[in-house]
Amino acid sequence: MTPHFTLAELTASATGARLKIDNTPRPEHLDKLTLTAELLERVRTLLGCPVIVTSGYRCMQLNIAVGGVTSSDHARGQAADILAPDFGTPYQIAKRLAPLVSNLGIGQLILEGIAGKQWVHISTRMADKPANRVITITDAGAELGIQAIA
Ligand SMILES: [Zn+2]
């Protein structure tokens, strides 16, 4: 899709493979997924190291299978969950991106820490409420801004 991000990488899912779910994006989602890949390139350039996509596009069936909310930006091809171990922890990545969301074209930035795993969620779609543009979500709930996860 872009120099460093393939369609295969942005649609890969272990859960999808296990459940034999066809996660091929629809044409309208493919266009949005291309914009997501372009955003990932900008993030990669800023971080100065490879960005690993742990979850990109999830068709609605797959999104439900992984427990995603039905309004998920992943189901529209507008979001990616990322790690960048060569840069630092998800918290460090989110802290680096947070002041630059407008410059980078990030509509929503979420530091997520669920069930002992952490990752950074970025979306090209603007958060419904401006206050929710940069948030931290843990098992305990959502907090505004990027907060350290215990
Ligand atoms: Zn996500």
Looking at residue 53, its pLDDT comes to 98
CA of 123 to the centre of ligand 1 (A): 8
Could you tell me the distance, in angstroms and rounded to a whole number, from the CA of residue 79 to the centre of ligand 1? 6
H-helix segments, the chain? 7-11, 14-18, 27-47, 60-65, 90-97, 101-104
Ligand 1 mean position to 38 CA, how many Å? 17
Q: Is 121 helix (H, G, I), strand (E, B) or coil?
A: strand
**pLDDT score, position 136:** 97
Q: 54: CA distance to ligand 1 center in Å? A: 9
Higher pLDDT, 16 or 70: 16
Q: Identify the structural domains of the chain with CATH numbers, from first to last.
A: 7-144 (3.30.1380.10)
**What's the mean pLDDT in 91-119?**
97
- Whole-structure pTM over 0.85, yes or no? yes
Cα 127 to Cα 92, 122, 131, 134, distances in angstroms: 22, 11, 8, 9
Ligand 1 centre distance from Cα of residue 74 (Å):
6
Distance separating alpha carbons of residues 111 and 5, to the nearest angstrom = 21
Instruction: Note the pLDDT of residue 70.
Output: 78
In the chain, the percentage of residues whose pLDDT exceeds 90 is 95
Using alpha carbons, list the distances in angstroms from residue 4 to 38, 41, 72, 112, 135: 9, 7, 24, 24, 27
Q: 119 CA distance to ligand 1 centroid (A)?
A: 8
Distance 113 CA to ligand 1 centre (A): 11
